[in-house]
């Protein structure tokens, strides 16, 4: 372990850090990148902390393009935050440059590394423990959309091509059904039909983006609660983190994935489907916060389509779980037999519940359009 720490400190020294390096420890519980907290001593009573990450280039195959996205977006955010009288060191990620230039370092063993300034006096949560935190995450992700409303989204690279292209996801699903390489299709005829019955839905947002009916925007694409840093004192969302999947897309993707994750009354892999539903109070709370955070950046059509964003992101996620189950569970990690099938069923149950509450969901979106 000591040898590993010395190697990590050697990597850290490649970046433009301040002070004398003291400690480096594993940080957080992310599943993609390896993350470490670096502490540097500036004086006897002052320290400066940084986040050092090894980028997973098996998942993100073009680190250069990935970091171009992140540097472009964070630089833009910092300028906007300064214009609004905010603190760019706390309200946006700050990429630390490599001493020899550039936004990332490639080690001799072929690994790719980057560094951020640590956001002090803030915390993130993995699950929704208090409705207030879910609301603050909505405001923060909405504000993220507002600040980036005039960023040229088309200039961003697709770090994961077709990530929320529901039409492409549908085609991959159909291919998995047709090939049936694990001979599992006969076990899941009901789930397969569930997707096929909603084939037209899968085209809605893609078609609206293609026609310009809804605008192309900068999207985060991983809008879980733990990607918002909440201020220790105020509880307010101050900084959006984990920008690896920042890409061009629709604001409805970000909103919808938050609802899928945060407004579900059960766990993502719950076997007792009677526990699964869309909590309309949480749905309303997040919708209010997101629209407020966007501060007028959303179009009327986007607000009208918010419920559809929630439904389609949930349907897409369930379709991805089912596709992986049919293909042999090679993408999502599983911890028991049929784990991806359980995950798929919770998503489809959530979709079905949304459909039953559709009128209420539309009324909520319309209400906050006029209230904010």
pLDDT at 274: 97
Of the pLDDT bands very low, low, confident and very high (cuts 50, 70, 90), residue 1 is very low
User: Does residue 235 sit in the same domain as residue 356?
Assistant: yes
pTM over 0.85: yes
Of the pLDDT bands very low, low, confident and very high (cuts 50, 70, 90), residue 333 is confident
Strand pairing partners for 50? 38, 117
Mean pLDDT of the chain: 94
Asked if the structure places residue 351 within a domain, the reply is yes
Of 97, 120, 143, which one is at a domain's C-terminal end?
Answer: 120
219/249 Cα distance (integer angstroms): 6
CATH no. for residue 353? 3.90.1200.10
- For residue range 242-257, list pLDDT tens digits in order: 999 999 999 999 999 9
Domain extent, residue 81, equals: 2-120
| Structural domain total, the chain | 2
Average pLDDT over residues 63-88: 97
User: Does residue 19 sit in the same domain as residue 59?
Assistant: yes
Least confident stretch, 170-179, 222-231, 271-280:
222-231
pLDDT at 372: 56
CATH no. for residue 40? 3.30.200
Asked if the structure places residue 194 within a domain, the reply is yes
Compare 180 and 6 and report the one with higher pLDDT. 180
pLDDT at 129: 80
Q: Is the pLDDT of residue 259 over 60?
A: yes
User: Does residue 195 sit in the same domain as residue 295?
Assistant: yes
User: 3-state class of 224 per DSSP?
Assistant: coil
User: Does residue 289 sit in the same domain as residue 215?
Assistant: yes
User: Does residue 109 sit in the same domain as residue 152?
Assistant: no
Asked if the structure places residue 359 within a domain, the reply is yes
User: Does residue 113 sit in the same domain as residue 87?
Assistant: yes
Q: Is the pLDDT of residue 82 over 90?
A: yes
Asked if the structure places residue 126 within a domain, the reply is no
Q: Is the pLDDT of residue 3 over 60?
A: no
Asked if the structure places residue 16 within a domain, the reply is yes
Tokens of 48: 């400066």
pLDDT at 31: 65
User: Does residue 292 sit in the same domain as residue 165?
Assistant: yes
pLDDT at 354: 98
User: Does residue 198 sit in the same domain as residue 343?
Assistant: yes
Q: How many residues does the chain have?
A: 372
For residue 356, the surrounding DSSP H or E stretch is helix 339-356
User: Does residue 106 sit in the same domain as residue 145?
Assistant: no
Of 120, 147, 167, which one is at a domain's C-terminal end?
Answer: 120
Asked if the structure places residue 109 within a domain, the reply is yes
Asked if the structure places residue 151 within a domain, the reply is yes
Asked if the structure places residue 125 within a domain, the reply is no
219/14 Cα distance (integer angstroms): 31
User: Does residue 230 sit in the same domain as residue 338?
Assistant: yes
* 8 Å CB contact between 291 and 303: yes
**What residue ranges in the chain does DSSP mark as E strands?**
20-26, 34-43, 46-55, 105-106, 112-117, 122-123, 217-219, 228-231, 237-240, 247-249
Average pLDDT over residues 153-157: 97
User: Does residue 144 sit in the same domain as residue 116?
Assistant: no
220/245 Cα distance (integer angstroms): 6
- For residue range 90-132, list pLDDT tens digits in order: 999 999 999 999 999 999 999 999 999 999 999 998 877 889 9
* Cα–Cα separations (whole angstroms), residue 340 to 73, 256, 265: 34, 21, 19
Average pLDDT over residues 273-298: 96
Give the whole-number percent of the chain exceeding pLDDT 90.
87
Of the pLDDT bands very low, low, confident and very high (cuts 50, 70, 90), residue 368 is confident
Of 61, 94, 120, which one is at a domain's C-terminal end?
Answer: 120
User: 3-state class of 114 per DSSP?
Assistant: strand
* Cα–Cα separations (whole angstroms), residue 323 to 47, 174, 223, 316, 326: 48, 8, 22, 10, 5
Q: Is the pLDDT of residue 296 over 90?
A: yes
User: Does residue 142 sit in the same domain as residue 37?
Assistant: no
């Amino acid at each position: 372990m000591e040898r590993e720490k010395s190697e990590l400190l050697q990597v850290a020294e490649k970046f433009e850090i301040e002070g004398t390096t003291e400690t480096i420890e594993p940080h957080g519980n992310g599943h993609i990148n390896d993350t470490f907290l670096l502490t540097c001593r500036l004086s006897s009573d002052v320290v400066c902390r940084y986040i050092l990450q090894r980028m997973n280039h098996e998942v993100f195959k073009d680190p250069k393009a990935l970091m171009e996205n992140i540097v472009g977006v964070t630089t833009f955010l910092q300028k906007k935050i300064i214009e609004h009288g905010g603190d760019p060191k706390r309200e946006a990620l700050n990429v630390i440059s490599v001493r020899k230039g550039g936004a990332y370092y490639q080690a001799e063993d072929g690994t790719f590394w980057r560094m951020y300034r640590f956001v002090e006096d803030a915390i993130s949560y993995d699950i929704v423990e208090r409705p207030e935190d879910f609301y603050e995450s909505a405001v923060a992700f909405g504000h993220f959309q507002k600040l980036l409303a005039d960023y040229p989204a088309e200039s961003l690279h697709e770090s994961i091509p077709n990530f929320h292209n529901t039409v492409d996801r549908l085609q991959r699903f159909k291919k998995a059904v047709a090939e049936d390489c694990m001979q599992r299709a006969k076990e899941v005829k009901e789930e397969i039909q569930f997707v096929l019955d909603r084939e037209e839905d899968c085209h809605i947002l893609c078609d609206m983006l293609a026609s310009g009916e809804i605008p192309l925007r900068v999207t985060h694409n991983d809008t879980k609660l733990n990607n918002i840093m909440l201020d220790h004192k105020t509880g307010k969302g101050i900084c959006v983190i984990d920008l690896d999947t920042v890409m061009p897309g629709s604001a409805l993707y970000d909103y919808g994935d938050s609802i899928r994750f945060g407004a579900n009354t059960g766990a993502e892999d719950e076997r007792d489907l009677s526990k699964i539903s869309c909590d309309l109070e949480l749905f309303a709370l997040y919708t209010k916060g997101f629209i407020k955070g966007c501060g007028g950046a959303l179009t009327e059509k986007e607000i009208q389509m918010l419920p559809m964003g929630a439904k389609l992101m949930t349907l897409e996620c369930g379709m991805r779980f089912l596709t992986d189950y049919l293909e042999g569970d090679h993408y999502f990690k599983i911890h028991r037999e049929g784990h991806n099938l359980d995950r798929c069923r919770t998503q489809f149950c959530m979709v079905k519940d949304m459909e039953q509450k559709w009128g209420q969901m539309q009324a909520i979106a319309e209400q906050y359009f006029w209230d904010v």
